[in-house]
């Protein structure tokens, strides 16, 4: 099947040092990918010409109505591309070098060796059981195109960089730029949640199968912390598998599964939690772990995962499928002597400078200004 193409280069000319940014992932949800892209665009505005939301290039953020319309069109296209390996619409061929903020955009915007692709994780390839089949196929097609084009690559973790090399080999320019901690949570005046009066364990992250909350809720029940008056609070956007988590949370004593929380409420949750757990099956990076550490919480995380790269020495790491180990880890968070807690936090907080906004901005400026 031949893929139709269109060429914008007849109407545009390369501008040295200027980039187009493909930010279609902003139309999907406002999770980690969105915040990385948003901060990057804000910091590097003088090096960026147009930002593309699916097929619309603009200097302004689309209105909510236009965003929904563009998102619908994009979802139709990526589903078709996942099924067939080609887009049902003409491929857009930019006149400028393009920064792709998600690999799947190479299915509708041409990719070459002058471009940059930001890779968050290889999850759809390495953990296909956690994704819908069309999503896995979409990323398989996209990564094959990227491997052929040999663009510059940026990864949010060394873990993701190693996985890409293992699966597709090396490209001439591959580097890691860690995402920053979100300033909104640091700066927001916290909003108390008066319904939470007791001690609580906190998990922050999208609710669904990928994040392993079902196992964590079962482990919390096994830990018997609820019998001591300790609650387990989970918050995050919903993703595939959320319905099963919601049913399990409703029937498990002590578990509070929150709806959407504001940044001010999230700041309060971090400030008042007595422990933090994120024992997910798959993470691109795991910003909530760094946020928890910055607020004085020792995290319980997944063994042999990117979360160990984020936390460094000092976290409690357990296997994501071992309910007994997760339950013990939760109990240990509340039984930990203060001297041990302080030692662990000192080690982990010493490396948080990797995730600052100035470090992030400087690294991306060096990448784009070459």
For the chain, domain boundaries: 19-176, 183-353
Q: What is the reported pLDDT for 295? A: 93
Chain centre to alpha carbon of residue 274: 24
Q: What is the reported pLDDT for 186? A: 67
Residues 313 and 343: their CA atoms lie apart, in Å, by 10
pLDDT tens for the chain, 370 residues long, are: 233 333 333 334 444 459 999 999 999 866 788 999 999 999 999 999 999 999 999 988 899 999 999 999 999 999 999 989 898 999 999 999 999 999 999 999 999 999 999 999 999 999 999 899 999 999 999 999 999 999 999 999 999 999 999 999 999 999 999 999 987 776 667 888 888 989 999 999 989 898 999 999 999 999 999 999 999 999 998 888 899 999 999 999 999 999 888 989 999 999 999 999 999 998 888 899 999 999 999 999 999 999 999 998 899 999 999 999 999 999 999 999 999 999 999 999 988 999 999 999 999 999 998 7
Q: What is the reported pLDDT for 187? A: 60
Cα dihedral sign for 3, 8, 9, 13? negative
Residues 114 and 19: their CA atoms lie apart, in Å, by 10
Count the neighbouring beta carbons within 10 Å of the beta carbon of residue 342. 13
**Structure confidence by residue, pLDDT tens digits, 216-258:** 999 999 999 999 999 999 999 888 889 999 999 999 999 999 9
Question: 183-353: same fold as 19-176?
Answer: yes
Residues 358 and 366: their CA atoms lie apart, in Å, by 12
Q: In this structure, are residues 289 and 301 in contact, taking their beta carbons and an 8 Å threshold? A: yes
Only one residue has tokens 């296909």, namely 128
Q: What is the reported pLDDT for 267? A: 92
Considering the entire predicted model, what is its pTM? 0.88
Give the residue from 314, 325, 248 showing the smallest Cα distance to 279.
Answer: 325
269 burial class (0-12, 13-18, 19+ CB within 10 angstroms)? buried
Cα dihedral sign for 259, 264, 268, 269? positive
Write out the two tokens for 5: 């193409």
Mean pLDDT over each residue of the chain, to the nearest integer: 91
Structure letter (DSSP) for residue 3: P
| CATH classification for the domain delimited by 183-353, as one of 2.60.40.1180, 3.40.50.2000, 3.30.450.20, 3.20.20.70 | 3.40.50.2000
19-176, CATH topology level: Rossmann fold (3.40.50)
Q: Tell me the CB-side half-sphere exposure of residue 346, using CA atoms within 13 A.
A: 6
Write out the two tokens for 39: 């901060």
């Amino acid at each position: 099947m031949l893929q139709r193409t269109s060429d914008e280069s007849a109407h545009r000319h390369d501008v040295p040092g200027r980039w187009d940014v493909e930010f279609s992932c902003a139309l999907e949800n406002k999770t980690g990918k969105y915040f990385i892209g948003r901060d990057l665009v804000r910091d590097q505005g003088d090096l960026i010409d147009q930002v593309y939301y699916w097929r619309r290039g603009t200097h302004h953020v689309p209105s909510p109505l236009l965003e929904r319309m563009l998102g619908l069109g994009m979802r139709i296209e990526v589903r078709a591309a996942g099924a067939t390996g080609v887009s049902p619409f003409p491929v857009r061929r930019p006149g400028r070098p393009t920064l792709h903020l998600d690999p799947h955009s190479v299915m509708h915007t041409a990719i070459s060796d002058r471009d940059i692709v930001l890779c968050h994780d290889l999850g759809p390839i390495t953990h296909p059981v956690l994704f819908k089949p069309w999503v896995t196929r979409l990323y398989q097609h996209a990564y094959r195109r990227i491997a052929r084009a040999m663009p510059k690559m940026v990864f949010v973790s060394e873990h993701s960089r190693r996985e890409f090399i293992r699966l597709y080999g090396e490209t001439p320019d591959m580097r890691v730029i860690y995402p920053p901690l979100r300033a909104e949570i640091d700066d927001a005046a916290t909003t108390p949640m008066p319904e939470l009066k007791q001690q609580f364990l906190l998990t922050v992250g999208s609710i669904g199968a990928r994040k392993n909350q079902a196992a964590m809720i079962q482990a919390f029940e096994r830990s018997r912390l609820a019998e001591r008056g300790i609650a387990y609070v989970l918050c995050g956007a919903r993703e595939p598998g959320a319905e099963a988590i919601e049913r399990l949370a409703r029937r498990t004593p002590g578990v509070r599964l929150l709806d959407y929380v504001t940044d001010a409420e999230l700041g309060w949750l971090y400030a008042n939690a007595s422990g933090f757990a994120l024992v997910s099956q798959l993470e691109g990076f795991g910003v909530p772990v760094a946020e928890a550490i910055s607020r004085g919480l020792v995290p319980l995380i997944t063994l042999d995962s990117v979360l160990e790269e984020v936390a460094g020495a000092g976290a409690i790491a357990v296997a994501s499928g071992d309910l007994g180990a997760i339950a013990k880890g939760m109990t240990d968070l509340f039984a930990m002597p203060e001297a041990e807690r302080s030692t662990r936090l000192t080690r982990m907080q010493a490396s948080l400078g990797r995730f600052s906004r100035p470090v992030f901005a400087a690294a991306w400026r060096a990448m784009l200004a070459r």
